[in-house]
Amino acid sequence: MDRVELFLLVLATLLSLSAISSKVSGKMGMPTLVFFLFIGILAGSEGLGGIYFDNAEFAKTLGVVALIYILFAGGLDTKWSAVRPIMWDGISLAPLGGFLTFLFVGTFAHFVMDLSLLEGLLLGAIISSTDAGAVFTVLRSKSINLKGNLKPALEFESGSNDPMAVFLVTSILALMGDPDYSVLSLIPKLIQQMVLGVGIGYGGGKGIAWLFNRLKLEFEGLYTVLSLAVVLIVYTLAQALDGNGYLAVYVAGVVLGSESFIFKKTLILLHDGISWLMQSMMFLTLGLLIFPSQIINVSGPGLMIASFMILVARPVSVYISLSASKLTWKEKTLISWVGLRGSVPIVMATYPLVAGVSKAEFIFNLVFFVCIMSLLVQGTSIPMVAKLLGLYIPEPQKVENPAEYTSSASLTTNMNYVVVPPMSSVVKKNLVDMKLPQDLLIVAIERKGEVIIPRGTTEIEAYDKLMVLAHREALQEFKEKLNRQVLPSPEKKSE
């Protein structure tokens, strides 16, 4: 077996173990991401696998790419109707709450540890952001259903506060590298990044929906390729214009998720899978980058920082930033507790390593320890805390989508989704006038995010997604009928 085959085998084995570990983590009430990290550590140089890895630059690059797709997938799966009522609370939490956490933790670290003020603030900036991947996966994988709009508020905060943390980290690194760097110039730069990030993200989301609905690609699978490409285009465009690329892709995902476009459910499932793949690879890589013996050496200061962040900095920041909110004290307390730290702070902790900052290795190990404590302590206790506060609602059992059901029997009749082309001859026709094939039944019509139960008088519109139960021959005949285009009338031709 050559090196390439060995690498692929090891990668496939680690990813498989990470995926299978989700069953164990669910039963133990532990976040799946922790298992991903532990598998990476076990495979590392001080673990059973003995794989030596210390490439911080590669880990940083992978983390950036992974975070792009994690944020986009999180935004795509976020309903705008759920975000709208809590948008101002989320906007207050994201920049202001993150900034206050940065100040509190940074100042505390400076006074209790052997760190200069800038080094302490750098540590505070790195762990100031709640982790989108951790919050999304923990809230959804544990089937946690919270009262009111708490879940969308927490997801919106975690998806939109990364830009502030990235901005703070890069700015402090610039100050450490150049003492003459102007602090006052950071304020207009921050505003510019936020405004451009939101604007490019909004335009990107609208543009992607418009593009998908008007393109007629020869192969359906190319829409998935295109969706992966346009996400990177939105990010790089925002970065090139000095906007915030992370904020842009998250906003683009939220906007696109509220639009109607062809193959929407397929693309949402695709990006959910891509998000999990990225999280698995990122956490495995970060686990390989860790040397457990070095983590033990920072356990003392790590416990101090983790305790201060969880019990003091995060709650005080939340209560101050939500002081004008109508949320109850119980809701604010739960939001304070769900301030999970995960992959984003660990990835940002590689920035000082790459920059060659003094004490960068100590800060990296400290951040890793704090993130593990956050995932283990906060992540595992969210259901218990929500129940104690009276904010927990058991999530209703999900019913399997009949269109996704696959029988083990050999069937000649199948459930399929068919999209009506915009120039089809059936557009504006009632079902009763369409002369459907005998062995075909239109079960439901999905239109602009709503499901319509069809009747004989139901009129077909362009881009309707039809759920069709049919024999193969009848389905093929029906597709040919849909693809027949309306011919211009003789009067229009003469004109």
pLDDT of residue 23: 64
Q: Is the pLDDT of residue 247 over 80?
A: yes
* 408 vs 483, more confident: 483
Dihedral angle sign, alpha carbons of residues 448, 138, 315, 175: negative
Q: What are the pLDDT digits (tens) for 175-185?
A: 887 766 666 66
Name the average pLDDT for the chain: 81
Q: Is the pLDDT of residue 26 over 70?
A: no
Q: Is the pLDDT of residue 358 over 80?
A: yes
Q: How confident is the model at residue 237 (pLDDT cuts 50, 70, 90)?
A: very high
**Integer-rounded Cα radius of gyration of the chain:** 25
Alpha-carbon distance 114 to 93, whole Å?
30
pLDDT of residue 305: 94
The residue whose two tokens read 């029988």 is 407
pLDDT of residue 212: 87
Instruction: Give kind and range of the element (H or E) at residue 70.
Output: helix 56-76
The two beta strands, 144-146 and 465-471, are unpaired
Helix, strand, coil share of the chain (percent; to 5): 65, 5, 25
Write the single-letter amino acid at 355.
A
Going by C-beta distance under 8 Å and a sequence separation of 6 or more, which residues neighbour residue 448?
A: 260
Task: Return contacts of 292-295, CB within 8 angstroms, 24+ apart.
Answer: 292/41, 292/44, 292/46, 292/47, 293/46, 294/361, 294/365, 295/365, 295/368, 295/369
> pTM for the full model?
0.70
pLDDT of residue 493: 44
pLDDT of residue 28: 53
| CB-based contact 122:363 (threshold 8 Å) | yes
* 80 vs 305, more confident: 305
Q: Is the pLDDT of residue 33 over 80?
A: no
Which CATH class name applies to 412-488? alpha beta
**Phi then psi for 325, rounded to 5 degrees?**
-80, 155
From residue 7, alpha-carbon distances to 13, 15, 46, 60, 282 in Å are 10, 12, 19, 20, 16
| CB-based contact 244:190 (threshold 8 Å) | no
> Could you tell me where in the chain the CATH 3.30.70.1450 domains are found?
412-488
From residue 71, alpha-carbon distances to 133, 196, 461 in Å are 8, 17, 33
Strand ordering across the sheet containing 413-419: 413-419, 465-471, 440-447, 450-452
> Could you tell me where in the chain the CATH 1.20.1530.20 domains are found?
3-394
Q: Residue 233: CA atoms inside 13 Å, Cβ hemisphere, count? A: 11
Q: What are the pLDDT digits (tens) for 60-112?
A: 888 889 889 988 988 887 777 767 777 788 778 878 888 899 999 999 999 99
Write the single-letter amino acid at 475.
L
Q: How confident is the model at residue 140 (pLDDT cuts 50, 70, 90)?
A: low
Q: What are the pLDDT digits (tens) for 398-418?
A: 444 444 444 444 445 567 888
Q: How confident is the model at residue 386 (pLDDT cuts 50, 70, 90)?
A: confident
Q: Strand (E) positions, 18-92?
A: none
Q: In the chain, what's the furthest Cα-to-Cα distance?
A: 86
Helix ranges restricted to H, 338-395: 343-348, 350-355, 360-373, 380-388
Architecture per CATH, domain 3-394, reads as Up-down Bundle (1.20)
Q: What are the pLDDT digits (tens) for 432-474?
A: 778 888 778 888 898 877 888 888 778 889 888 888 888 877 8
Count other Cβ atoms within 10 Å, centred on residue 360.
20
Q: What are the pLDDT digits (tens) for 153-207?
A: 887 787 777 777 888 888 888 888 776 666 666 778 888 888 999 999 999 999 9
pLDDT of residue 141: 59
Write the single-letter amino acid at 335.
I
Alpha-carbon distance 159 to 103, whole Å?
21
Q: How confident is the model at residue 279 (pLDDT cuts 50, 70, 90)?
A: confident
Alpha-carbon distance 203 to 251, whole Å?
9
Dihedral angle sign, alpha carbons of residues 364, 366, 370, 373: positive
pLDDT of residue 395: 54
